[in-house]
Amino acid sequence: MGLSEELRSHAAPIWEAAQRHPFVQGIGDGSLPVEKFKFYVCQDYVFLVEFSRVLALASARATVLEVMSRYASLLDATLNGEMELHRGYCERFGISRTDLEATPAAPAAHAYTRHLLSVAHGGTLGEITASLIPCQQGYAEIGLALAAQGEPASQPLYAEWIRMYASPEVQEIASWSCALLDRLAEDAGAGERDRMAEIFVTSSRYEYLFWEMAYTMQEWPV
């Protein structure tokens, strides 16, 4: 068993809670109120801006050209593919690009991105990779699970979202990241492997909190 599979098994209760979250299930059956989805799209856009910075730092940290190139490709796909999907959603919602880019981060989004950036600035490539997988593989698993249930005919926007994250491209990204983590873990010492595990679990918890944040439309209390 590689480290990625070991960590996924260890964090299974957190991932299962995320997949059962009413926000996720509401996308799947079309029952999620559109206002909550709008809130999520704007917050996820804010998240992806910082996620892109982490991908750039991962590319810079890589010592193997194939890995450097792949992280650079993921950066391009995030900035010009995934974020374009979000911009398209907001255009249909009547949210301008200027307003979208001025969205303030909600507490959970702020905390999650600070966690990722802290790892990216101070951690090894293995630790950075461990921090990213709960997002990459988590969305891939949710996309496949919701697609298997059937797209919600009542909400074509949600169906589009499901197709995005159930796509072969997203599945392949998750597989590549897990394989990279397994390779990096082979050369890591016990201390680094322990940090990878801790980081992976923390990112997994933030994934759950992100869904909760979107469902409650979380705001700063003061």
Query: What CATH number corresponds to the domain at position 178?
Result: 1.20.910.10
pLDDT of 36 reads 98
The 10s digit of each residue's pLDDT in 88-127 is 999 999 999 999 999 999 999 999 999 999 999 999 999 9
In a domain, 171, yes or no: yes
Average pLDDT over residues 42-63: 97
Average pLDDT over residues 125-139: 98
In a domain, 150, yes or no: yes
In a domain, 17, yes or no: no
Tokens, residue 61: 């940290």
Tell me the C-alpha distance between 131 and 126, whole Å: 9
Computed over every residue of the chain, the mean pLDDT equals 96
Kindly tell me if the per-residue pLDDT of 129 is higher than 90: yes
Closest CA to 198 of 143, 138, 118: 118
In a domain, 168, yes or no: yes
Containing structural domain, residue 156 = 3-7+31-213
pLDDT of 102 reads 95
pLDDT of 85 reads 86
In a domain, 159, yes or no: yes
Backbone angles phi, psi at 104, to 5 degrees: -75, 145
Give the number of domains in the chain: 1
151 is catalytic: no
Tokens, residue 36: 């909550």
178 is catalytic: no
Confidence of residue 12 (pLDDT cuts 50, 70, 90): very high
The catalytic position among 135, 141, 151, 178 is 135
Tokens, residue 164: 């995005």
In a domain, 19, yes or no: no
Kindly tell me if the per-residue pLDDT of 1 is higher than 80: no
Backbone angles phi, psi at 12, to 5 degrees: -50, -45
Kindly tell me if the per-residue pLDDT of 26 is higher than 80: yes
In a domain, 24, yes or no: no
pLDDT of 15 reads 98
pLDDT of 78 reads 95
pTM, entire model: 0.96
Please state, for a pLDDT cut of 70, what percent of the chain lies above it: 100
Tell me the C-alpha distance between 21 and 26, whole Å: 8
